[in-house]
């Protein structure tokens, strides 16, 4: 059995035992993503990241892509539609 198969089986077993709705999943991911993003930005700030210059090549694009993905996720969720 591949590791990915074992992880998938474990996840499915967990979901069967503790079902979660899409809204609950959204709330959890929103909170954990926000905490993770804040921590990453604090670390980068200590490394000298200003939002325009980047300590590592390509990192600025990666951060921007993450921000865009979060924005798209929030815009598509029914709770945020106008």
8 Å CB contact between 68 and 74: no
Alpha helices of the chain — where are they, by DSSP H? 3-17, 22-46, 59-76
Give 20-59 pLDDT, tens digit per residue.
666 776 676 666 666 666 777 777 777 666 666 555 556 6
Does the pLDDT of residue 79 top 60, yes or no? yes
Range of the domain at 10: 3-80
Q: Is residue 82's pLDDT more than 60? A: no
In this prediction, residue 4 carries a pLDDT of 65
Tally the domains of the chain: 1
Residues 80 and 27: their CA atoms lie apart, in Å, by 12
- Do the beta carbons of residue 38 and residue 67 sit within 8 Å? no
Cβ count near 49 (within 10 Å): 19
Whether the Cβ atoms of residue 2 and residue 39 lie closer than 8 Å to each other: no
Q: With bands split at pLDDT 50, 70 and 90, how would you rate the model's confidence at 80?
A: low
């Amino acid at each position: 059995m591949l590791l990915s198969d074992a992880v998938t089986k474990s996840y499915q077993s967990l979901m069967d035992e503790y079902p979660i709705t899409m809204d609950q999943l959204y709330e959890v991911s929103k909170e954990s993503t926000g905490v993770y993003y804040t921590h990453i930005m604090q670390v980068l700030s200590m490394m000298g990241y200003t939002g325009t210059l980047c300590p590592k090549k390509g990192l600025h694009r990666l951060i921007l892509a993450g921000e865009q993905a979060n924005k798209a996720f929030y815009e598509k969720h029914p709770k945020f539609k106008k």
